[in-house]
Amino acid sequence: MSDRASLLEQLRIDRGSENDSHTDHAWLKWMAVVLVVAVFVASGWWFFLRDRGVPVRAASAMALPASAGSSMGPSMLDASGYVVARRQATVSAKITGRVVEVLIEEGQRVEAGQIVARLDDSNTRASLEQALAQVAQAEASLKAALVALEDARPIYLRNEQQRKAGVISEQDFDNARAAFHAAEAEVAVRERALEVARANLALAQRNHDDTIVRAPFSGVVTVKAAQVGEIVSPVSAGGGFTRTGIGTIVDMDSLEVEVDVSENYINRVRPGQPAIIRLNAYPDWDIPAEVIAVVPTADRSKATVKVRVGFKEKDERVLPEMGARVSFLGNAVGSDASGASAPRTAHGVAVPVEAVQASGDTGTVYVIDGRVVKRRTVRLGGRSGERQIVLSGLEPGTRVAIGDFEKLADGVRVSVRE
């Protein structure tokens, strides 16, 4: 009986072990499914990204036709510089003196000859009064000498007649003649003394006038350098405690821009050439300009040549020492070098600056050809705002890529965003 019970016990199925085995198998199946799905998703995403290519933006090359109403071609060259005044002066006194009045403030407009300051004139006034007295004294002395001459003249003439008649001796006549000539000489001396006194008076008057400092020309005060009570002098003196100027006046009508142009490109610039000035403070404001002169000397330390560019329009927003960028434009459209009429043609295209890898007067762009880009070398002109002028190598309407140049190369697949 016990053997039978033992046999039945061995033949009994363990339901707990079967449930554990089913749980393990289910977990493994789910893990396999998740792994397969992850592999498919990763593969699809990789193929999707590979198919999209390098993300870029597209920009079209814009033609630069010579419009019928314009007389300027495209920018051939850009250069940076500063606004300067051709007429600017630090106004100073001609003499050394103490300032008693300053009549200017920074930003004030003054006219030519306007009083800007006064110096202490106590010493010069005293010298002027002394010179006036000396002139009066010299005039009185001359008057007395003239009276003496008039008295000596009839005596001399009467003695001359008496000598001829034998009434007086030769000695008496000689004495009368000597007295007359002495009176004439005294008049001449007094006349010269009066001239000296008048010259001293003019000098004293000039020194007195120099205590009044006037504006040499019309302009705007940009610097007020002296205050009441300070000593000013036309030359530096006093160990730095003496001012050499009252203030600085700038003729705003003489403002222009000075730029340094590389020697390699100076052949593109000539006097009278049209240009556009853009101030750093107003980058969207295109100011018509013209080349005034190419300074006939080079800076060998920088390998540049200075060029003066004048404003065609005056505006109070333009201030001295402002930073500026000058775009030198091409030849006047509609005329050749001899001034004869010429056909109006296009002069290159314009593309965004960020679409070009510039290197001197050449550059590299990536032209979009379907789903790939083609590397192309182009010849560059100047810049016009945020656009680069391309003189050759691109046709109007050609789409170029804007993106990470490190990821772009000839034949690379791209994903274009318009």
For the stretch 272-315, pLDDT in tens is 999 999 999 998 888 999 999 999 999 999 999 999 999 998 89
pLDDT value, residue 37:
62
Say what percent of the chain tops pLDDT 90.
Answer: 42
Highest mean pLDDT (candidates 36-45, 191-200, 339-348, 389-398): 191-200
pLDDT bracket for residue 335 (50, 70, 90):
very low
Q: Say what the pLDDT of residue 389 is.
A: 83
Place of tokens 């705002």: 385
**Which carries the bigger pLDDT value, residue 359 or residue 267?**
267
Per-residue pLDDT, averaged over 5-22, amounts to 54
If you average pLDDT over residues 370-394, what whole number do you get? 84
Residue 198 has a CB neighbour count (10 Å cut-off) of 15
Q: What integer pLDDT is reported at residue 173 of this predicted model? A: 75
Do 116 and 109 contact (CB within 8 A), yes or no?
Answer: no
Kindly state the tokens that stand for 336. Answer: 């050749």
Which has the higher per-residue pLDDT, 41 or 408? 408
Per-residue confidence at 170, pLDDT binned at 50, 70, 90?
A: confident
More confident residue, 348 or 253: 253
- Predicted confidence at residue 107, as pLDDT, reads 92
Q: What is the mean pLDDT of residues 157-167?
A: 78
Mean pLDDT across the stretch 178-192?
A: 88
Round to whole Å and give the CA distance between 41 and 72.
59
Residue 29 pLDDT? 66
Q: Is residue 89 pLDDT above 50, yes or no?
A: yes
10: pLDDT strictly greater than 70: no
Mean pLDDT (the chain, rounded): 82
Per-residue pLDDT at 325: 93
Q: Alpha-carbon distance 244 to 226, whole Å?
A: 9
pTM for the whole thing? 0.55
Say whether pLDDT at 49 is over 80. Answer: no
**Stretch 7-24: mean pLDDT:** 53
pLDDT tops 80 at residue 245:
yes
Average pLDDT score over residue span 374-382: 87
C-alpha span between 400 and 355 (Å, rounded): 7
Q: Which residues pair with 62 in a beta bridge?
A: 350
What is the pLDDT averaged over residues 237-256? 82
CA distances for 198 relative to 125, 141, 142, 187, 206, angstroms: 16, 14, 13, 16, 12
Q: Which has the minimum average pLDDT: 12-21, 255-264, 403-412?
A: 12-21
Torsion of CA 52, 53, 57, 60, to 10 degrees: -100
Counted residue by residue, the chain has a size of: 418
pLDDT band, very low/low/confident/very high, at 345 (cuts 50, 70, 90) = very low
- CA–CA dist 335, 347 (Å, integer): 14
pLDDT at 258 over 90: yes
State residue 212's pLDDT score: 94
